[in-house]
A and B are shown apart, each in its own frame.
Chain A
Amino acid sequence: MAALRPAGDFDRTYEQDMSVMRKPWHVWLTVISIAIVLVVPMLNNFVSQDWLSTHAYIVSTANQIAYTVIALQGLNILTGLTGQISLGQASFMLVGGYISALAMTYWGLPIFVTIPVAGIGTGLVGLIFGLPSLRVKGFYLAMATLAAQFIIPWMTRNLWRDYLGGTSGAIEVPSPIVFGFATTEVTRFFYISFVVLLLTTVISVNIRRTRLGRAFISIRDNDLAAELLGVNLFGYKLRAFFLAATFAGIAGALKAHSQRGVGTEFGYSLEESIIFLGMLVIGGMGSNIGPFLGAAFVILLEDAALWMGASLADVFPEQGASLLTSFRPIFFGLMLMLFLIFEPRGLAHRWELFKAAWRIRPFAR
């Protein structure tokens, strides 16, 4: 009996069901988007003098979004897929930044070696702070990662002072040389970030399609049931911690090289870790597109807050300093709370709703 089915696209094979690029135009769209992103940083040779600063702002913000997305993808694996809370992602970025910077300064390794080294080294550090997940979960695990967020920055300020910068909280980081090109300008460094971002995106999209990702999701949804089904809880939780810290380390290396400095002077505080969690919630936890939406939304929001603070500081000069810094936490805190209350599944969910509405247009708005 031929069942009446609505018209539309149907998956006929398992391969179709599992594919990331579902339609030919997905491939085209991806290629065109990547091409646009590759061309935009080069435009500084062509735009007029008045637009140079705007162009520089666009590219450096894009660079910031790129490495933030990488850190968020790691956090997404740990929090979004596996359901473990981490308040220490920023401190792992600090570790990655230091490893990459020291490896380049003292051993002269090229950037495409130091970034993986930073990733793996940070992953090992992440394992140490994942160890309490053997016995605790939920709030208690959040406390363990909170401990990481305090202990690691303290170590960089107080131990091995000659190498880590000591109380000044900063060391200089050389700008990497790729194929003979020095990447001192962000318009060049952006390409490194972008290539790494493409790689981590491919990895993080594919993790959820493998045994590893399914094990993570089963732990998140019901850890006891997962254990009964034969998922080694501790092993997989540690793997999630390792991956999250690895991504954070890679992101930290990129951040360190693009800011040409690393250390507690450049942030990496508890506040930053909280902002990462907030970005993930605002973007949409557990979805592939969530990190992109969340990072872009929050970073642009913070820039708006900074701009607003600066213009208000012009109007009220006597409160200038406090106005400059105060709007960022207010905007972020309000946004986070509003999203948690009214849109807990984040912008990614909104995007899905929009796509669904578009598909059955004109029957829905």
Chain B
Amino acid sequence: MNWILVPQQLINGLLQGGILALIALGIVLIYKSSEVFNFAQGHMVMVGAYLTWMFSQWINTGISQVDLLISAVGALIIAVGLGWLIERLALRPMTGQPLLSIILITLGLAQLFEGLTTVFFGTEPKSDFPGLFAKDAVWRIEIPPVNGESIVFLNQLTIPYARLAAFILALVVAVLLILLFNYTSIGLSMRATSENHDLARSVGIKVSNVFGLSWAIAGVVATIGGILLATIFGVSINLSTVALVAFPAILLGGLESFAGAIIGGLSIGLIQALVQAAKLSEVRNSFEIAPYVFLLLILVLRPEGLFGQKRIERI
């Protein structure tokens, strides 16, 4: 371990983990209300980012903050429609089908999104995504050496403003989502639906509307995640792979838990960043797969995750 790199990597990991947590929340939201594992969430993230980029190209006022805000609103409106459409056209006919079919239909959706994005936006990554801050706007914190030995690389910690803003925004949205789910009537009907479809119907909740609504919210969450990721990395097809790491995160946190998804996202971000501080180059390069190795460990040691419910099978 290169200890001198660790403090910086901790910060990077935490900031990255915040966005992961937001993406993971979208998956958990859909799972909680309709018991669907949405493998297409990563691609919804990517589509959201591309839509925002497209709008910002149209608007193009020259002030990137204005561009970003207006185009984000446009992309979010489309994402609501998209999420609702996905539920209506793809998932509704699959109600009651076996797990494999439901997983496969989200995988099919993911492929479809990938193809459509390539048709409309090409394979070239777009680096001219508007941001709230300039790319090189960095907050530097000087850490003086202790006993003549520097404890931090180059004696300073650097925090890019864009990443910090993305982290804060992600956590704000996450908290809003949890508040929505726990303290509003919409959230109550969602929770009722996730508990028991028949009972929810019998008290007058329209289950199909709840499904549609939760997919629409998931679309919004994915788009916000996509915009935040894009302000840091730019837009490319690879955003969907970045978002796949959300799956280890939700398994760590437990499938049914919002708090678990946030903690899981932050921990996976930290793990990925800490691995990069290792001395051995093989370990350093393993940051792509470290979440998945960790995932295998979770599955063997504690399959229900940190905050998940232990499944009891009824016969």
Contacts and interface: CB of A to CB of B under 8 A. Distances in A.
Contact of A274 (B94, B101, B111, B295): B111
A341 B121 CA distance: 29
B137 interface: no
A150 B292 contact: yes
Interface string A327-338: 111111110110
A135 interface: yes
Given A136-B303, A158-B285, A330 B295 contact: no
> Looking at B118, B247, B282, B286, which has the most chain A CB atoms within 10 Å of its CB?
B118
Given A281-B104, A340-B94, A144 B296 contact: yes
B125 interface: no
A341 B103 CA distance: 13
Interface string A63-88: 00000000000000001000101000
Contacts of B285: 154, 158
Given A278-B104, A330-B112, A136 B299 contact: yes
Given A85-B99, A135-B303, A224-B313, A147 B109 contact: no
Contacts of A129: 296
A323 B114 CA distance: 12
A165 interface: no
B247 A143 contact: yes
Interface in A152-168: 154, 158-159
Interface string B116-130: 101101110000000
A344 B289 CA distance: 34
A340 B108 contact: yes
Range, interface on chain B: 35 or more
A132 B104 contact: no
A333 B108 contact: yes
Given A139-B99, A143-B299, A333-B112, A278 B123 contact: no
B299 A224 contact: no
Contact of B114 (A135, A329, A337): A329
Interface string B89-121: 010011001011101110111111111101101
A277 B104 contact: yes
Most chain B CB within a 10 A radius of its CB, from A129, A146, A333: A333
Given A131-B300, A154-B286, A322 B123 contact: yes
Contacts of A319: 119, 122
A323 B97 CA distance: 34
Contacts of A344: 97, 101
B288 interface: yes
B105 to A, nearest CB: 5
A159 B90 CA distance: 41
B84 interface: no
A135 B296 CA distance: 11
B119 A337 contact: no
Tell me if A's interface is mostly helix, strand, loop or mixed: helix
Nearest to B37: A139
B125 to A, nearest CB: 12
Dominant secondary structure at the B interface: helix
Interface in B1-35: none
Contacts of B111: 271, 274, 329-330, 332-333, 336
A85 B296 contact: no
A142 B103 contact: yes
A180 B289 CA distance: 44
Nearest to B293: A151
Contacts of B315: 224
Contacts of B118: 322, 325-326, 329
Given A136-B299, A224-B313, A340 B104 contact: yes
Interface in A299-332: 319, 321-323, 325-332
Contacts of B105: 336-337, 340-341
B104 A150 contact: no
A159 B296 CA distance: 20
27 contacts: A131-B300, A132-B300, A132-B303, A136-B299, A142-B103, A143-B251, A144-B295, A144-B299, A146-B247, A146-B295, A151-B292, A158-B285, A285-B100, A321-B122, A322-B119, A322-B121, A322-B123, A325-B118, A329-B114, A330-B119, A333-B114, A337-B90, A340-B94, A340-B101, A340-B108, A341-B90, A344-B97
Given A326-B118, A340-B94, 4 more contacts: A158-B282, A274-B111, A325-B118, A337-B90
Interface of A: 79, 83, 85, 129, 131-132, 134-136, 138-140, 142-144, 146-147, 150-151, 154, 158-159, 224, 271, 274, 277-278, 281, 285, 319, 321-323, 325-334, 336-337, 340-341, 344
